[in-house]
Chain A
Amino acid sequence: MMASGYSAKEEDGHLPGASGAAGSGVAKSKKPDNTAFKQQRLPAWQPILTAGTVLPAFFVIGLIFIPIGIGLYVTSNNIKEFEIDYTGADMSSPCFNCSQSSSWNSTWPCRCSIAFTLDQPFESNVFMYYGLSNFYQNHRRYVKSRDDSQLNGDKSSLKNPSKECEPYRTSDNKPIAPCGAIANSLFNDTLELFYIDPNGTRTQIPLMKKGIAWWTDKHVKFRNPGGTNLNLSTVFQGTAKPVNWHKSVYELDADLENNGFINEDFIVWMRTAALPTFRKLYRIIQKKSNMTPTLPRGNYTLDITYNYPVLSFEGRKRMILSTISWMGGKNPFLGLAYITVGSVCFFLGVVLLIIHHKYGNRNNSADIPN
């Protein structure tokens, strides 16, 4: 009669039967515990979002966000920023020749200088950035092409870099230090800034190269191999310089604290940028005294040792001078966003107030009988 009952069903769940029987054995012996947890009666806070409860929040958000937004916006606007493209893609650009001739093989450093004028004085510390466009530092092949243990001073990795560094792993059968595409493409233009006095004299503006990299990178993540051994050339013996470099890694700077893997320019470069158009901190111009602005209004020239070719991939190079506020560099986005969101919240608060007024009345009338 009921044969269909058991022929049709596919067997699979024998376990519920087994465990179920065991469960019934337990159930037989005792009544379920009367705990709040088991009876799903845990004390609970049961918030209900209504116009009434949300409304104050909207106003508060509006009231907080709009001032913050205005503050951010004003701050951002007060930040002075000057940007100059020195790629030399244009015929008119002083660097045109350099951009055309420069390649990795050229032994002669090509120099060019660009004159510019600052309309406003830059007070406080000025930060000098170089910017690259259309440069895919975030390309996967590029991002992974490094060996962090080598950079951390690991001796074995120094001699035997990670496979990820291919094709920048060895050169002439010698391990490259630092290996990988990122290191290999280290930005090596030299930028110098000169102030042209109204009387025509050029004074070089001192550029500080310390403090441009993250403290932890400089002091923990990047370590020279050999620890306290100060003679880097011996430490790096048996390694090759990256193919595109003009000098070895231990010749990056005369200052021992800024040489080798712990060279700050190098460290900054090694932190790959998030987007194809990016800027990196190059130098810091320290404020000298309270009396004079760091960069007074006037004429300047930017002297460039043009080494870094970007035209092959339609890239651009920029030099950026910027002051910095508590919120970082100039970016009106945050301020605008805060003002917008704050106003929207405020507006919604008003709308909700009206709604609440209408519904609230109705609610109240409905509640009265209760």
Chain B
Amino acid sequence: MPLRRGGTLVLHCTAPHQGSGRGLRTGDGVDIGTMIRRGLDRLLGRGEGRADSRTVYVGHGAWSPAQPFTPPRYCDNRIVSSKYTLWNFLPKNLFEQFRRIANFYFLIIFLVQVIVDTPTSPVTSGLPLFFVITVTAIKQGFEDWLRHKADNEVNKYPVTVLDGGRSTRKESEKIRVGDVVEVLEDETFPCDLVLLQSSRDDGTCYVTTASLDGESNHKTHYTVPDIETDLLLLNATLECEQPQPDLYKFVGRMYIRREGQEPAVRSLGPENLLLKGATLKNTSKISGVAVYTGMETKMALNYQGKSQKRSVVEKSINCFLVVYLCILLSKALVCTTLKYVWQRQPGQDEPWYNQKTQKEKDTDLYLKMFTDFLSFMVLFNFIIPVSMYVTVEMQKFLGSSFITWDRDFYDPQIQEGALVNTSDLNEELGQVEHVFTDKTGTLTQNNMEFIECCIDGFQYKYGNCASELDGFCVEDGPVNKLQRKAGREREELFLRALCLCHTVQVKEPGPGLGPVDQVDAARAVEERGFIASSPDEVALVKGAMRFGFSFLGLDCMKMKIQNRNKEIEEYDLLHVLNFDPVRRRMSVIVKSEAGETLLFCKGADVSIFPRVREEEVMRIRTHVERNATEGYRTLCVAYKKLSTEAFAQADASLREARLALQDREEKLLNIYDQLETGMNLIGATAVEDRLQEEATVTMEALQNAGMKVWVLTGDKMETAKSTCYACRLFQRRTELLELTVRTLEAGGQKCEGRLHELLLDYHRRAVQDAPPAKGGVSRSWSSAVQDYGFIIDGATLSLLLKPPSSRYTSLFLEICQNCAAVLCCRMAPLQKAQIVRLVKNTKGSPITLSVGDGANDVSMILEAHVGIGIKGNEGRQAVRNSDYAVPKLKHLRKLLLGHGHLYYVRIAQLVQYFFYKNLCFILPQFLYQFFCGYSQQPLYDAAYLMMYNICFTSMPILAYSLFEQHICIEILMDNAILYREVARNASLRWGPFLHWTALGIYQGLLFFFGVHCLFRNPALQDNGQVYGNWSFGTIVFTVMVFTVTLKLALDTRHWTWINHLVIWGSLAFYVFFSFFWGGIIWPFLKQQRLYFVFANLLSSVSAWLVIILLILLSLLPEVLLVVLRKPRASHIQQLKMRSSARKHRDFLSNTGVI
């Protein structure tokens, strides 16, 4: 049983391909549907029986001949994780897609174009939209097909069902509740089964739940006791609770009916339940009765879709979109108004040369105004780029593979690299302001090593001389570093306690290993290794082994240990009082060969000390505290002898409690509590949890990058604090502000009053007296400022969050904002999430990032903007629920400072550039309306309108947004300060947006009026021939394509061959396309508008000259700006030099600058 974590945690388990919660899946619509259905059920009086429990007839046998048997209807064993079927794919997928506001907008534009007589043909907006929709639909369809395949694999899997005496092969999906199912070794359970029979003699079976919660150890499950060996004769019903997602809870009761007897009642618990998705191990065959099937299995209920996390960039895009929508609307409005003003002049509306059709004449004036407005909207609608969404998606999708491909994230130990679960958040990695990190397994390795122990106040350390004193050959007992030592009897008791009080399993021998002889048993066991859900249990068992006591394994409820004299001792394992995070301790009750009944208990000091004698505590407390400050994890070990009567009583009440259907947990806890009192403290252990590689450097880098690091841990304050010191989160000069139960109690007042008092005091010190922060970013630059560290514990936090104090939370947050690091210890998983939510929702909604490796971090990983999972040794929970997973904490540095920074810069440029290029695309078209009688005449040809965003200008920016490194990764990583340059969405705020918009407007004006001036005399060729309106548009368009592309080229700081190819390639493509498009009379076109326009254009020197002039002139301000922003450029250059200097150490010493 896990010592520190696990326990009663609700784990969010997902088996990626297999399960899904139907209700959760389809979102609002279905949820409402189920709600209505439930409501109906209630109204009709149905489903009342469903409310609390379900009755299962094992093997569908009738409970009693007298009672009419109506098989209750449960859902079948089909798992549906797919979203669509062949029939509803099209409508459903289209509906889903058009729920996106952008797609809907383009659909509306398209429909307007179809219905109203608009300047551009519906094709111009229909084709891109169709393209986008089709690509998305194909992608989603393919993914759904994969899910269908995975579902089918699960659903069609053949299983053996005992049906009326015969065993029949069935497809897994046909299993009904009540079927008796046979499962062979290494098969997965097809549904949730109650174990009836196992091929093992002891009525157990081993199961691994790796695919459910990632714990790879073998768990033991038990058959229902006293069941007929022939399942055909079994006549039983089973009553159990309704399906619920908690993997570790199951309450049920089995009524076994035998001829002429009262039905025997057996209680069922989670140890009897085999979960769908788990795999049978080391047991050749089991039989079980299906209790939950299909979507009601715990696995399916636990399926939790990834939350749709949206990045700040997306919010910025939406903001800008609104601005552009306003621009669009006002443009259309201005044009419509001016059109009608202009038309009121005589002869303008309908001159003799340009008569209206009869239909137009008959149209109502207001309707005409409205359609005119719509037409203008359509004409200018390109200002909102449909292709931006496609490009952004592609950038994110392709870009995230660079994270997966990064070799720096590859860890040879676990042979894995980084994992990207969602590509939507790449840029968010560059925006992190608060880092919430778990301690164990994240900051520390969670690779426990037994360091020392303390028996009766004497310290024992496993020292350097270990080699010669290895194992059992030490007759004198462990080396005693101190002068004195405890009595041998106490030592052995302590070591036995370590050997017995755990839930560690010995790995089953592989098939290749022969029988092990007794002498080598211990060594063999050690070679095979131990499996436990918590590494410190293994550390303790191994530690005991080094002192001569080896745990050999558990066999038929007998624990075998080998003592120092190489004798095998056997203990009957009577009860295991499981670990849970509330009690923070676990116990076992064993019976020794001598017949003594002993209770061994180990747990956190706070949970043990009140339960043992005071004078024993005195002896050990100092050791425990010293160990804690050294950063070790300490556990206290206590024991108690149980008299036969006491045990009998305890045994009875335990069994009774386990049978209870209601409040079983509480009852058990009560009994545990009663049992674990009046114990004798034997000693304490200290286990070291070493820091992760480069944890210190990483934390330092994060802090330099302006991130606030919060450590959230379930550990005790001292241990956590020492880790913080070790990681340099706290430094020697850091002033610690402590807000824990201890400080609250110290005042001797009421806790709440004291809490408020302390908060106000800390606030004064850390916030009010602190020098005013400059924008919150540059604050911790100088070391002269006093650093503060804040410590709070779980109990205080919950006090703080409770209503009477909740107004102080803002105070608390303000203090935390001004602290270099915050340590929250003694946190329950939910509290971790609470803290994250609290910070997330403060003013300015800072971007939060959670790092964790264990199941208890899942909640905070899900809660934070970005969740990072560490692929540690605590299962795959965190990884599976994270957005990104890396093997080690040290990878965080590159992930944030390198990739995050770059992705942010890239996507910010992408977004700004897209808006910019569409603004200067549409502005000339808008201006042209003033010269064409507001008639919605497009300036550019339809082909250009359509291809501008798709072909001519999309590839360079995509390449940019994938390959740009305005500063190369090494420099970014070495100079964490650079991260602050993009902090708080720096490139997507209104300032840069206005800059880009101004640039777009400037260039748009320049393009149009430049060419307009030229066209005052349209005779531009040396043969005196004149140019028309399409030439005008084409010149503007050519200038624009070149300018916009070259503008990007100017911004590109990292020219790979791909950039070269794409930038010059798309310009060449534009030229080629223009020749091609104008070189042929296209039979499918109604008008050959561009026939030879481009070629003719290039035959004119003036056109060339004006194109060159306008391109240069429109880029001039940008070049100037880049040059005048020189201090920054030189800054980068300097940094470059610095980094190169750093490589050559000899330079470094001479450099006073650095």
Contacts and interface: CB of A to CB of B under 8 A. Distances in A.
Interface in A118-170: 125, 127, 129, 135-149, 152, 162, 164, 166-168
A136 B420 contact: no
Interface residues of B, number: 144
B351 A136 contact: yes
B1020 A328 contact: yes
A133 B418 CA distance: 69
A352 to B, nearest CB: 7
Contacts, number: 383
Nearest to B879: A24
B932 A140 contact: yes
B862 interface: yes
B230 interface: no
A91 interface: no
B1092 to A, nearest CB: 4
B985 to A, nearest CB: 23
Given A4-B830, A214-B1092, A11 B932 contact: no
B1087 interface: yes
Contacts of B862: 5, 9
A51 B354 CA distance: 56
A61 B25 CA distance: 62
A362 to B, nearest CB: 9
A200 interface: no
Contacts of B1151: 369-370
B1075 interface: no
Interface in B918-938: 931-933, 935-938
B299 to A, nearest CB: 13
A125 B1025 CA distance: 13
A111 B205 CA distance: 115
Interface in B1131-1145: 1132-1134, 1137, 1141
Interface in B715-752: none
B1109 A341 contact: yes
B363 interface: no
B459 interface: no
A177 B1095 CA distance: 29
Contacts of B352: 104, 185, 244, 309, 312-313
Interface stretch (A248-256, A268-276, A288-296, A299-307): A268-276
A363 interface: yes
Contacts of B1101: 326-328
A16 B421 contact: yes
Nearest to B931: A275
Given A16-B423, A148-B1087, A168-B355, A314 B347 contact: yes
Contacts of B150: 18
Given A12-B308, A34-B407, A138-B937, A348 B969 contact: no
Interface in A184-228: 184-185, 211-214, 216-217, 220-221
Contacts of B1053: 46-48
B153 interface: no
A91 to B, nearest CB: 20
B147 interface: yes
Interface stretch (A93-101, A232-240, A277-285): A277-285
Interface in B1090-1119: 1091-1092, 1095-1096, 1100-1102, 1105-1106, 1109, 1112-1113, 1116, 1119
Nearest to B21: A11
Interface in A344-361: 344-345, 348, 352, 355, 359
B783 interface: no
Interface of B: 8-10, 12, 14, 16-17, 20-21, 24-28, 81, 83, 119, 140, 143, 146-147, 150, 245, 302, 304-308, 345-348, 351-358, 402, 404-407, 409-410, 415-424, 828-830, 833, 858-859, 862-863, 880, 931-933, 935-938, 963, 965, 968-969, 1010, 1012-1029, 1031-1033, 1050, 1053-1059, 1081, 1085-1088, 1091-1092, 1095-1096, 1100-1102, 1105-1106, 1109, 1112-1113, 1116, 1119-1120, 1122-1124, 1126, 1129-1130, 1132-1134, 1137, 1141, 1147, 1150-1153
Given A9-B307, A18-B150, A279-B1026, 5 more contacts: A18-B146, A140-B935, A167-B355, A214-B1092, A369-B1150
22 contacts: A2-B830, A2-B833, A3-B10, A5-B304, A9-B862, A10-B305, A12-B305, A12-B308, A17-B305, A17-B880, A19-B143, A20-B421, A32-B409, A39-B406, A138-B933, A142-B354, A162-B1086, A220-B1092, A272-B1029, A327-B1102, A328-B1100, A331-B1016
The 8 closest A-B pairs by CB, nearest first: A11-B305, A185-B353, A329-B1019, A313-B347, A21-B16, A274-B1032, A9-B307, A127-B1024
